[in-house]
Amino acid sequence: MVPAVVTLRAMNILVTGGAGFIGSHVCERLLQEGHAVWAYDDLNDFYDPQIKRGALRQLQAMARPFTFVFGDLTDRPAVDELFAGASFDQVIHLAARAGVRPSLQEPALYQRVNVEGTVNVLEAARRRGVKKITIASSSSVYGVNSKVPFSETDPIFNAISPYAASKLADEALGHVYHHVYGMDIAMLRFFTVYGPRQRPDLAIHKFAKLIAAGKPIPVFGDGSTARDYTYVTDTVDGVIACTRQEFGFEIFNLGESQTVTLARLIELLEQHLGRKAIIDRQPVQPGDVPITYADITKARERLGYRPGVKIDEGIPRFVEWFRRQAAAG
């Protein structure tokens, strides 16, 4: 069935996690398209909150209809107050505790923020009559998947981290709210997003900083693990495409549909930073998967999703931004 197309009028759109890496890029695109945007974020200390504050300043400098609301997803009265304070046409729910390895250290926190927080958003939307929600999931739900590339129809009962388990729960909740309440839910499985404003704990940004400083980079395993690195503007294209159609309930992979080994990634960073990496070889970490690789056939057909930034182009773009940030202090 061909999904219904939503009229492209100016809308009021809530972006949870709107000060974060992907969220700030989504807010920027929505503002450019003429929508009024609310960003909801708790500016937590998972990484330096000043990075998010910097992203907010950039959004506010656009002089478009943008509102930042400070708040915690797990604070249900605060979420209810957010929805009572504005009439939202759509919600893009990106806020979450992210990362496989940190989730192994604080599994209860990940369940509380990612699962309970998502319930709070869905419930507030339901009570206020907001029918359309786009929700961030993750390629981590595929776990150790013997079949590649990963397809939305693959069985997903092999999660190997609390983070992956929390995203599986979010997908199930999305289906419940569609089935019971008729809400229009799109679940987006992101594949290793990178680019300007990337979180400093993620491999590309972390490696760039260490290589530039002449410090060792921790490499877990022999460098053969592979990821489907997706440039942030391509991910944003997929998110925005979901705001323009109605699906009922659908899950989409948003990846580049190419794999890059860790060893190749390091080579590219070395090439564009002009420095050799000092390798600190470490054992494979619990929770890590050997490969992620998106089958994007469904997203191409249903969303018109056409990722265009390959890793050979994306890494120099990232390094250019990284150098500007370093020069700015």
Q: What is the pLDDT of residues 260-289, one digit of tens each?
A: 999 999 999 999 999 999 999 988 877 677
The total domain count for the chain is 1
The Cα 267–Cα 272 span in angstroms is 9
Give the tens place of pLDDT for each residue, 109-155: 999 999 999 999 999 999 999 999 999 999 999 988 768 899 999 98
Residue 38 lies inside a defined structural domain of this protein: yes
The Cα 160–Cα 167 span in angstroms is 12
Q: How far is CA 281 from CA 22, 166, 264, 285, 306, in A?
A: 30, 30, 15, 12, 36
Q: Is the pLDDT of residue 3 over 80?
A: no
Packed helices 76-84 and 117-128: angle between N→C axes, nearest 10 degrees: 30
pLDDT on residue 291: 86
Residue 185 lies inside a defined structural domain of this protein: yes
Q: Which phi and psi angles does 160 have, rounded to 5°?
A: -125, 20
pLDDT on residue 4: 55
DSSP strand pairing (260-261 vs 226-227):
antiparallel
The Cα 141–Cα 230 span in angstroms is 17
Residue 71 lies inside a defined structural domain of this protein: yes
Residue 96 sits in a domain whose CATH number is 3.40.50.720
Residue 50 lies inside a defined structural domain of this protein: yes
Residue 284 lies inside a defined structural domain of this protein: no
Q: pLDDT grade, residue 100 (50/70/90)?
A: confident
Q: 89 lies in which domain range?
A: 10-191+232-257+293-307
The Cα 254–Cα 227 span in angstroms is 13
Give the tens place of pLDDT for each residue, 199-235: 888 899 999 999 999 999 999 888 888 999 999 999 9
Residue 329 lies inside a defined structural domain of this protein: no
Residue 324 lies inside a defined structural domain of this protein: no
Catalytic center residues: 163
What is the length of the chain?
A: 329
Q: Is the pLDDT of residue 314 over 90?
A: yes
Residue 316 lies inside a defined structural domain of this protein: no
pLDDT on residue 289: 78
Residue 269 tokens, joined:
């960073």
